Amino acid sequence: MRWVESGDVRLAVFEEGDPADPTVVLVHGYPDTHRVWDEVARRLRDRFHVVRYDVRGAGASTAPRGRHRYRLDRLTVDLAAVLAAIGKPQVHLVGHDWGAIQGWAAVARPGIRERVASFTCFGGPGPGQFGHFLRHGRRREVAAQLARSWYIGAFQLPVLPELAWRTVLPGIFERTLRVAEGLEPRPGHPADTLRDDASHGVQLYRANSLTARGDPCVDVPVQLIECLRDPFVTPALLRAQARGVARLWRRTADAGHWAQRGAPDLIARMIGEFAEHIEGGEAARGLRTAKVTQGRKAFTGRLVVVTGAGSGIGRATARAFAAHGAEVVCADLDPAAARRAADDIAKDLGGTAHAARLDVADAVQMEEFAENVRSRYGVPDIVVNNAGTVVAGGFLDHSLEDWRKSIDVNLWGVIHGCRLFAAQMVERGEGGHIVNIASLGAFTPSRILPAYSVAKAGVKMLSDCLRAELAGHGIGVSAICPGFVSTSIARNATYVGAASRELSEEALRRRGYPPERVAAHILRAVHRNEAVVPINFEGKIGYALSRISPAAVRGMARLATFPGNPRIRR
């Protein structure tokens, strides 16, 4: 520790790592001290010179007298004093909560912004962007943010906030960390000085207006981390932070407000990746995906895995994602078909695609495939569990093997894909999306496709269950339910009893609904995070009827027959 004088206060500054390495300055928020960064600092100090300091009125730093001495201009002067003491031409600034708020003010201020090579922030808005959001944002979104920011108004009251912090609030704060964040108190956080720190820091809210007017102008590269479980900052407010930022990277973290404690590996990795990239290193995949640029394709930099990508809906979906900038892994039981799909993406679209042979029904193959994808290309951002097969015919004509084949591919294949890749996405902590291809048969019974319909109904319910579980991790799940689509699925199906291959192929051919239209719905579902997506006329009608009148849907199911099979016609 060393002391840095800044006008009317002495700041306690703490340093770790080799001063010859690039410097990262970590600025804490309210009501914390520099100790809130302990876990992140330990993960960064082998590669960076890590500097932390207690802001005025917190921890070991001294507290000034008077509300006006907590204004943002005083805080930025403190930061300038710390930067001067460090003596580096430039540093990488990281701010959380009020540390982020003062960071936004600092990087827009001449004399400081030239000293900042990059700025990473989470948990706190820029005053200019916040003010614009309150004045021009959608009323419902503004109301939602104001509801989350209720404490700002409470802290304007005289005496009572200080009294509360010296009596009941420290205990409430610790319980909040346990219940809302899942964090156990540890030495240094909450700090032993919490009562004094929080009482002094109330002046931050009284001395500063977070509704500044005017357009901010930030030339410094900014990495904005959205903590998906932050109870204090809404996604709408975070979207408003892009205003006035020339070079912006937006990333998501499966974490709460105190992400540096709840997800230190993830936060340290994001800070390190950004700083190293600004220093001249190659951008990690997460950074390439996160960069905000004008005219950028919707899925640029995303890694997409598509099973059954050799033909039909799978092939069309792989091409659609590639056309919108994604890198695609095309997996199929037919390795030649997978290779053709990948080669065509490179030749026709100039995209990046990889081919893999895969039997989705084989659990061991699926585990090896998932691990190979992660080791070679990284954790997928989007997984499309599309591979499927059809056994057509009456229930009494289905053999046990027919049932096993249908359930193994159509349901177990989806279960394997969800289980393996969802685990990777959760571990990575940056969100993602899983798309499961179900069918019109998921909600409309059929006397001629019993095994297929049972499996697809399972896929839809699996998707609903998984969506509920993964929502808290920022991972979306969509069940896509097409009606009849003009693909080769009828030609490749297995027919039992009186089922007719020729009639089925002709019916799909005459339907005239191309798989490319299904692919467009899939991309839209991922973009909008839609839960259930019925596609084409019969899919939408069937879905609506299944909700309005299940009896009518059951009655319609009896109309489908196979000519010449009296057992089915009865």
Active site residues: 452
| Cβ atoms 387, 413 nearer than 8 A | yes
What DSSP element (H or E) covers 130? helix 127-136
Q: What are the backbone dihedrals phi and psi of residue 273, each rounded to the nearest 5 degrees, phi first?
A: -60, -40
Label each residue of 163-231 as H, E or C: HHHCCCHHHHHHHHHHHHHCCCCECCECCCCHHHHHHHHHHHHHHCCCCCCCCCCECCCEEEEEEEECC
105 has which bridge partners? none
| Cβ atoms 450, 459 nearer than 8 A | no
β-bridge pairing 2-6 and 49-53: unpaired
β-bridge pairing 222-229 and 382-385: unpaired
Dig out the tokens for 243 from the structure: 């205003």
User: Over the Cα atoms of the chain, what is R_g?
Assistant: 28
CB proximity list for 439: less than 8 A, separation 6 or greater? 452, 453, 456, 459, 481, 482
CA 148 to chain centre: 21
Dig out the tokens for 130 from the structure: 């916040």
* CA–CA dist 30, 200 (Å, integer): 10
CA 157, 160, 165, 170 torsion-angle sign: negative
* CA–CA dist 309, 344 (Å, integer): 12
* CA–CA dist 258, 190 (Å, integer): 11
Question: Count of CB atoms within 10 A of residue 172's CB?
Answer: 11
Nearest to 223 by CA among 31, 51, 430, 378: 430
